Amino acid sequence: MKWFMLIFRMATSKTGVSINELKNELEIKDYKTIWAMSHKVRKAMADRDAKYTLAGLVEIDESLFGPSFSGKRGRGAEKKELVIVAVSTWINKDGIEKPGFAHAFVAENAKAETIETILKRIGVPDDKIDTLITSIRSDGWRSYQTVAKSMEIGHYRAVLLDPKDSMKLLPWTHKIIANAKAVFSGPHRGVSQKHLQSYLSEVCYRFNRRFWGREAFHRLLYACTATTTITRDELMKTTR
């Protein structure tokens, strides 16, 4: 019953649930137990979303996650994790652009090779060779230009003269980034670099099912039963 309650809370919470909150609700005294249980569910979320590809015009950008400190800023900042976010887009019947599915990955760098690998990973179905992505929209960083040319896809540059324009010119990726940072600093009160990818997967999983509220619990329950689990020892050893 506690497992069902845990899966329900993680499926239906819009902003995520802290370990301490779950610990109290489920009346589980051991913090490590509830911590491991929640990460098992996050793995199921990640495994389920890994089956979904992006297609058409994909908005892509990166951001830095980690503690605030004085020092080097930007793509090469130290002590921070680089996260690349990609969101597929579509046009509704009124001609208005809407976001589709989203993916977010912790990356070693923002080099063209890294970005191309990520795009191919999320844009090529299991039974296909060619990507379903036809074009990308970015801030014009040279790596994106190189990738677009290499993959022979279109590239729309949203040149940011002012960082504050990012929400207007690259709205969907920055919505994911803003949501993630709000969740990490809010309910979770910080996320370790070691498990950052797991929490990013949870944010994207919830975003990707934002219109399926009534089915949220059943979908996550199925995801948990349709994948392999992970042990506490494996979680402790996980680096990424």
CATH number at residue 134: 3.30.420
- Residues 125, 28, single domain; the answer is no
- Residues 15, 109, single domain; the answer is no
Last residue of a domain, one of 159, 178, 197: 178
- Residues 60, 40, single domain; the answer is no
Which residues 6+ apart lie within 8 Å of 136 measured at CB?
57, 58, 59, 60, 119, 144, 147, 148, 153, 154, 155, 156
Last residue of a domain, one of 178, 197, 229: 178
- Residues 174, 226, single domain; the answer is no
Residue 200 φ then ψ, to 5°: -65, -40
Give the domain range for residue 42. Answer: 2-49+209-237
Spatial distance between the Cα atoms of 139 and 204, rounded to a whole number of angstroms: 21
Q: Which residues in the chain belong to E strands, given as ranges?
A: 56-65, 81-91, 97-107, 133-138, 154-157
- Residues 166, 137, single domain; the answer is yes
Which residues 6+ apart lie within 8 Å of 182 measured at CB?
15
Q: What is the pLDDT along the chain (240 residues), one digit of tens a residue?
A: 999 999 999 999 988 888 999 999 999 999 999 999 999 999 999 999 999 999 999 999 999 998 754 455 555 556 799 999 999 999 999 999 999 999 999 999 999 999 999 999 999 988 888 899 999 999 989 999 999 999 999 999 987 777 666 778 899 999 999 999 999 888 777 788 899 999 999 999 999 999 888 899 999 999 999 999 999 999 988 654
- Residues 94, 131, single domain; the answer is yes
Per the confidence metrics, is the pTM higher than 0.85? yes
Domain-embedded: residue 62: yes
Joined tokens for residue 76: 């090469």
Ramachandran category for residue 190: left, alpha or beta (phi over 0 → left; psi -120 to 50 → alpha): left
- Residues 29, 112, single domain; the answer is no
- Residues 40, 66, single domain; the answer is no
Spatial distance between the Cα atoms of 29 and 24, rounded to a whole number of angstroms: 8
- Residues 106, 32, single domain; the answer is no
Domain-embedded: residue 136: yes
The total number of structural domains that make up the chain: 2
Spatial distance between the Cα atoms of 224 and 217, rounded to a whole number of angstroms: 11
Domain-embedded: residue 189: no
Q: What is the DSSP letter of 159?
A: -
- Residues 132, 29, single domain; the answer is no
Domain-embedded: residue 122: yes
Joined tokens for residue 142: 């040279």
Domain-embedded: residue 156: yes
Domain-embedded: residue 76: yes
Which residues 6+ apart lie within 8 Å of 6 measured at CB?
22, 26, 34, 37, 38, 41
- Residues 70, 92, single domain; the answer is yes
What pLDDT score was predicted for residue 88? 97
- Residues 105, 82, single domain; the answer is yes
Of residues 111, 99, 106, 109, the one with CA closest to residue 137: 99
Domain-embedded: residue 193: no
Spatial distance between the Cα atoms of 165 and 197, rounded to a whole number of angstroms: 27
Domain-embedded: residue 216: yes
